Amino acid sequence: MSQQGYVATPPYSQAQPGMGGYQGGFGTGPAQPLYGHYGGPPQAFNAPPTGKLVSLSISRFSVAQQHFQTPPPPAMGQPQMLQGPQSPLMSPQMSPPQSPQASMSVTNQPMASPQMAGPPMAGPPMAGMGRPFPGAPPPGPGGFQPPGPGAAGPQGYPQQPGNCDSGRQFGGHMMGPQPGMPGAFPGAPAAMSGPPQKKLDPDSIPSTTQVIEDDQVKKGGQVFSTNIRGQVPPLVTTDFTVQDQGNASPRFVRCTTYSLPCTADLAKQCQVPLASIIKPFASLPKNETPLYVVNHGETGPIRCNRCKAYMCPYMQFIDGGRRYQCGFCNCVNEVPVFYFQHLDHMGRRVDFYERPELSLGSYEFVATLDYCKNNKPPNPPAYIFMIDVSYNNIKSGLVKLICDELKTLLEKLPREEGAESSAIKVGFVTYNKVLHFYNVKSALAQPQMMVVSDTAEMFVPLLDGFLVNYQDSRAVIYNLLDQIPDMFADTNESETVFAPVIQAGVEAFKAAECSGKLFIFHSSMPTAEAPGKLKNRDDKKLVNTEKEKTLFQPQKGVYEQLSKDCVAQGCCVDLFLFPSQYVDLATMADVPSHTGGSIYKYNNFQVKHSADLHHFLRDLRKDVQKSIGFDAIMRVRTSTGFRATDFFGAIHMNNTTDVEIAAVDCDKAVTVEYKHDDTLNEETGAFIQCALLYTTVNGQRRLRIHNLSLNCSSQLLELYKSCETDSLINFFAKSAYRAILNQPLKNVREILVNQTAHMLACYRKNCASPSAASQLILPDAMKVFPVYMNSLMKTAPLMGSTELSTDDRAHQRLSVMGMGVEDTQLLLYPLAAVPAPVRCSEERLDDSGMFLLENGHSMFLWLGQASPPDLIQGIFNLPSLAHLQGHMVRVHLTAALCLISCFWDKPEIQFRQFLVEDKSLHGGASYMDFLCYVHREIRQLLT
């Protein structure tokens, strides 16, 4: 282990009331009161902090970024001085435009240019704006706090006329909402006059690809040591190595800001959400050390007597090592006799480096029987594969494909490090209107089928032989997988059940007294007479109405109860859907989305299409093999002055503190929002501890602990400097996607814009150098925040368009709720490359070029009409692009799905939707127009 440690600052803070622990590992703990909104009466801005601040500014609607030269990391808790080079202002020949319709161009005049010295901001204080998507359940109808007075200006994007080309004119009229353009904000002024327009330089606005590249150049390939409090990590797109020296790796925890405002008033003033995105099971690269496992035997983990926080680097040992003061609640605890150790001359235990829980940010404890259900060690978990064998699935070849794949995939079930084979048991069910269970006991020569036709009272007809060890029963299982496609080859049954299938899985796990996961392969809406039967409720007339939210809401009753049953048993559900029409995904995916499960959707799947085939098989292989924990409870504890108040993810909550997850895998993240309940201390900072109690794949109960220390500041500038755009957008995406269950889309989009404007206006008012009102000033850490926000508002769930499939919209909404920061970043700003990354805009596509675009779900290879013949020959072994014309070509490149799209192909429309800097086909604004609109909102807030 490294010989450099993390030195915890001695915390001396007030006790935190009402923090209960896991009672016997599963208790609910004292209920904490729900937290209200930041909002209320208008807040005056404080004077800007003193210090040297330099802006880079551009003429009208231009972007000014605060550039800082980063000094060496300071000691913990010490403020950093901001220094930077003189940066240019607008050119003197360009007088400030009198209308919001002027041009944007980068200039390089020195800062001393007297003609353009902007007056200090005048006008009344900014209005306090209600937080957009705060804690549950929020006050007011539908869960949204409306914007406060003065926050929302006139609505309407300045829509960008014409096609995307390098000679676009910016300006003309500020167009109001257009027919079929739900992304526009209603009520825009019909026209606004202005001076003659100048051409717009697209390179003058912040570039996401440039920000990513700069961070890679600056921090790529380096070691990120976690021994400094409040240290902002490299971007998720940067390749770096983490050395745990007292704070959790950013792979496990990322924050919206690493410097919390000291008071609730400051938090209310800036409107920057305070949140962390926790990915407890994140995968670590091979060059990083796996988590150490600490075993204290029957004594179990050492915890604070009052708040139940676990031993960590933030505990301060006193009285010669006989006692320790809790960093979270300040309680002084006795050190158990077996755990006593002397202190060195610095007051640190002499075994500091020998104990992971004293020197590392992340580690695991072996849990005692107190943490187990019924005080009994858990059994190893199980995987049950449940296959829809209705007519279409048999005829399409899907059932045979699944059975063939499982033969090899079962060899790769997750196992403990060093174990020869997996301890996970396996079981098999097929179904249509009835369910078929299979006995695959190793002693049998042939598998045996048992049919349950009474789907109203679901039970498992056999105990012995249903859940088996794969290695022992391999021959019988192979036999079964060979027989299933033939057994149902002549079926005419097209109706299916669904809810009874999940119920069967729960009952099987109950009987075996274990947790586990169901892999369900399903194709159509469950219309057979049984609990959970669904009817088509897809109604395009509801789009852009008050009732549109019902399209996203699951049907209550059976599925709601099923979710609770699954979580109670530790039964996670992964759903593989192969629909050819509407299936009411919002309802069918309700159980997966509350149990830590995943939802995979393959529209019009065809076994014979290699792209469909590879897409599905890649997802299935990854899903079965990924690292995972079962039957989990997560508690987030904080130091005095703030607390966790809201949680977003594929989770279930029975109370306000315990996050329950039937299973948590390496891809799932929980986003946690925090609110103040007292003043935070700049000297001691703020501590967060995430404790996840779970069952390993071999049936051991463990606690996985992640600790993070943040700075606290009374200077808003420190908060903005420490912001992380990728984490912010993860929070806003989940907040907005949950909000659309209760609010009209128009309200949700308006609040997103209002909050964007409010955060940036607060920065300008409090942190930026005085400058002309015509300039748009952005914090350096948030300079590409607007492009992400605009991209979010153009995603399918937030676009009220009848052209978008209701199931596809519901699928994206549910998928995002469990995503980590890496996944939302890629989804909202796809990677467009070959040979180097380019911005996601049509302007960047070269007619003679080739571009690969990926967003984590889809991948496109775009070929220009003038692509060189030798390029086409090298990829497709065809003489020219003309030979591809008229049909869709699907290829398999480097194990990734690539859709080869040409101008005449239908996928061109889908491809263009990923060009997020351009105007959306469904009416969303371009990046340029969105910046202009936000700038106008900021100016209204500041005047």
CB of 852 closer than 8 Å to CB of 898: yes
pLDDT of residue 47: 39
CA distance 800 to 171: 26
CA distance 647 to 109: 48
User: Helix, strand, or coil here: 321?
Assistant: helix
Q: Cβ neighbours of residue 387 under 8 Å, at least 6 residues apart? A: 393, 399, 402, 403, 428, 429, 430, 431, 484, 521
What is the dihedral sign for C-alpha 761, 762, 768, 769?
A: positive
Helix or strand (DSSP H, E) at 932: helix 927-942
Q: Determine the average pLDDT of the residues in 856-860.
A: 74
In this structure, the number of other CB atoms found within 10 A of the CB of residue 17 comes to 12
Does residue 565 carry a pLDDT above 60? yes
> Would you state the CATH architecture of domain 389-626?
3-Layer(aba) Sandwich (3.40)
Note the pLDDT tens digit of each residue in 867-900: 777 777 777 777 766 666 533 444 433 333 344 4
CA distance 380 to 375: 16
CB of 147 closer than 8 Å to CB of 126: no
CB of 152 closer than 8 Å to CB of 188: no
Q: Which of 150, 62, 65, 56 is nearest to 109 (CA)?
A: 56
pLDDT of residue 698: 93
Note the pLDDT tens digit of each residue in 381-426: 999 999 999 999 999 999 999 999 999 999 999 999 888 899 999 9
pLDDT of residue 796: 93
Note the pLDDT tens digit of each residue in 143-160: 333 333 333 333 333 333
Q: Which of 262, 265, 309, 334 is nearest to 16 (CA)?
A: 309
In this structure, the number of other CB atoms found within 10 A of the CB of residue 535 comes to 8
Does residue 79 carry a pLDDT above 80? no
Report whether the peptide linkage leading into residue 137 is cis, meaning its omega lies within 30 degrees of zero: yes
CA distance 933 to 153: 10
Three-class DSSP labels, 698-767 = CCCEEEEEEEEEEEEECCHHHHHHCECHHHHHHHHHHHHHHHCCCCCHHHHHHHHHHHHHHHHHHHHHHH
Instruction: Check if 389-626 and 830-915 are the same fold.
Output: no
Q: Which of 428, 488, 437 is nearest to 458 (CA)?
A: 437
Note the pLDDT tens digit of each residue in 162-220: 333 322 222 223 233 333 333 333 333 333 333 444 445 778 889 999 999 999 999 99
- Strands 323-325 and 332-334, by their bridges, are antiparallel
- Structural domain spans, the chain: 248-282+289-379+627-718, 389-626, 723-825+922-942, 830-915
pLDDT of residue 908: 64
User: Helix, strand, or coil here: 688?
Assistant: strand
Report whether the peptide linkage leading into residue 186 is cis, meaning its omega lies within 30 degrees of zero: no
Q: Determine the average pLDDT of the residues in 20-47.
A: 34
- Tell me the two tokens of residue 539: 């109604």
End-to-end C-alpha distance for the chain, whole angstroms:
57
Options 1.10.10.10, 3.40.50.2000, 3.90.1300.10, 3.40.20.10; which CATH number does 830-915 get? Answer: 3.40.20.10
If you count them, how many residues does the chain have?
943
CA distance 50 to 48: 6
Lowest mean pLDDT among 114-118, 245-249, 928-932: 114-118
Does residue 342 carry a pLDDT above 90? yes
CB of 465 closer than 8 Å to CB of 400: no
pLDDT of residue 211: 96
Q: Would you give the distance in Å from CA 502 to the centre of its chain? A: 26
CA distance 359 to 921: 53
- The single-letter DSSP state of residue 520 is E
pLDDT of residue 891: 40
Does residue 466 carry a pLDDT above 90? yes
Cα Rg of the chain, angstroms: 29
- Tell me the two tokens of residue 286: 């091979």
User: Helix, strand, or coil here: 300?
Assistant: coil
Note the pLDDT tens digit of each residue in 229-246: 999 999 999 999 999 999
- pLDDT band, residue 855 (cuts 50/70/90): confident
pLDDT of residue 176: 32
CA distance 270 to 164: 35
pLDDT of residue 610: 78
CA distance 669 to 275: 13
Instruction: Check residues 498 and 182 and name the one with the higher pLDDT.
Output: 498
- Tell me the two tokens of residue 322: 């006989």
Instruction: Check residues 312 and 138 and name the one with the higher pLDDT.
Output: 312
Note the pLDDT tens digit of each residue in 744-788: 999 999 999 999 999 999 999 999 998 888 888 999 999 999 999
Q: Which of 934, 549, 528, 473 is nearest to 737 (CA)?
A: 549
- Tell me the two tokens of residue 324: 């320790």
CA distance 445 to 461: 20
- Strands 642-648 and 670-676, by their bridges, are antiparallel
Q: Give the percent of the chain with pLDDT over 90.
A: 64
Residue with tokens 């009409």, as numbered in its chain: 865
What top-level class would CATH report for the domain 723-825+922-942? Answer: mainly alpha
Q: What is the pTM of this model?
A: 0.80
Options 2.60.40.1670, 3.40.50.620, 3.40.50.12780, 3.40.50.880; which CATH number does 248-282+289-379+627-718 get? Answer: 2.60.40.1670
